[in-house]
Amino acid sequence: MNEVKISIIGAGSAVFSLNLVRDIILTPNLNGSTISLMDINEERLNAVYLLGKRYINEANAKFKFEKTTNRRESLKDADFVINTALVAGHDRLKKGWEIAKKYGYRFGGSFHVMHDEAFWINFYQFKLFDSILNDVLEVSPNAWYVQLANPVLAGITYLSRKYKKVKIVGLCHGFTGVYHLADVLGLKKEEISFQIPGVNHFIWLTHFYYRGENAFPIIDDWIRKEATTYWKKCYPSCDLGPKAIDLHQKFGVFPIGDTCTPGGGSWPWWYHINEENEKRWNEDPKAWWESYFAHGKRRVEELINLSKDTSASVSNRFPLKKSNEIIVPLIESIVCDIPRVLQVNIQNSNNFVPGIPSNFEVEIPALVSKKGIQGIETEGLPKPLTMYAIRDRVAPVEVELEAYESKNKELLVELLMMDPWTKSRELAVNFLEDILSLPYHEDMRKHYK
Amino acid at 168: I
Active-site positions read 173, 258
Q: Map residue 364 onto helix, strand or coil.
A: strand
391 contributes a contact to a copy of itself by CB under 8 A? yes
Smallest gap from residue 432 Cβ to a copy of itself (A): 14
Does residue 287 touch a copy of itself according to CB under 8 A?
A: no
Q: Rule CB under 8 A: is residue 279 a binding residue for a copy of itself?
A: no
Cα 390 to the chain's mean position, in Å? 19
Q: Does 409 bind a copy of itself (CB under 8 A)?
A: no
CA–CA separation, 273 vs 114, rounded Å?
A: 14
Contacts of 313 by beta carbon, 8 Å cutoff, 6+ apart: 58
Q: Decide if residue 407 touches a copy of itself (CB under 8 A).
A: no
- Confirm or reject binding of residue 448 to a copy of itself (CB under 8 A): no
Q: Does 379 engage in binding with a copy of itself (CB under 8 A)?
A: no
What x/- string results for residues 325 through 364 when contact with a copy of itself is judged by CB under 8 A?
------------------------------x-x-------
Please identify, among the stretches 73-81, 201-209, 329-337, 390-398, the one whose residues bind a copy of itself according to the rule CB under 8 A. Answer: 390-398
Composition of the chain by helix, strand, coil, percent to 5:
50, 15, 35
State the DSSP string of 192-243.
EEEE--EETTEEEE-EEEETTEE-HHHHHHHHHHTHHHHHHHSPTT-TTSHH
Q: Residues 242-261 vs a copy of itself: string with x where CB under 8 A?
A: --------x-----------
The residue from 417, 440, 442, 446 that contacts a copy of itself (CB under 8 A) is: 417
Among 14, 169, 399, 435, which residue interacts with a copy of itself (rule: CB under 8 A)? 399
Q: Prior bond to 268 cis, omega within 30? A: yes
Minimum distance from residue 270 beta carbon to a copy of itself (Å): 4
CB-CB contact of 380 with 355 (8 Å): yes
Closest CA to 362 of 168, 206, 198: 198
3 state DSSP class of 151: coil
Tell me the torsion sign for CA atoms 245, 246, 251, 255.
negative
From start to end of 215-312, where are the E strands? 254-255
- In the list 180, 268, 292, 312, the residue contacting a copy of itself (rule: CB under 8 A) is 268
Helix (H) or strand (E) holding 413: helix 409-417
Question: Are the C-beta atoms of residues 426 and 115 closer than 8 Å to each other?
Answer: no
User: Quick one: which segment of 169-177, 214-222, 286-294, 383-391 binds a copy of itself (CB under 8 A)?
Assistant: 383-391
Tell the smallest beta-carbon distance from residue 395 to a copy of itself (Å). Answer: 4
Choice between 172 and 399, CB closer to a copy of itself:
399
When the beta carbons of 12 and 151 are compared against a copy of itself, the nearer one is: 151
# residues contacting a copy of itself (CB under 8 A): 29
Which residues here bind a copy of itself, judged by CB under 8 A?
250, 268, 270, 273, 277, 355, 357, 383-384, 386-388, 390-391, 394-396, 398-399, 402, 410-411, 414, 417-418, 422-425
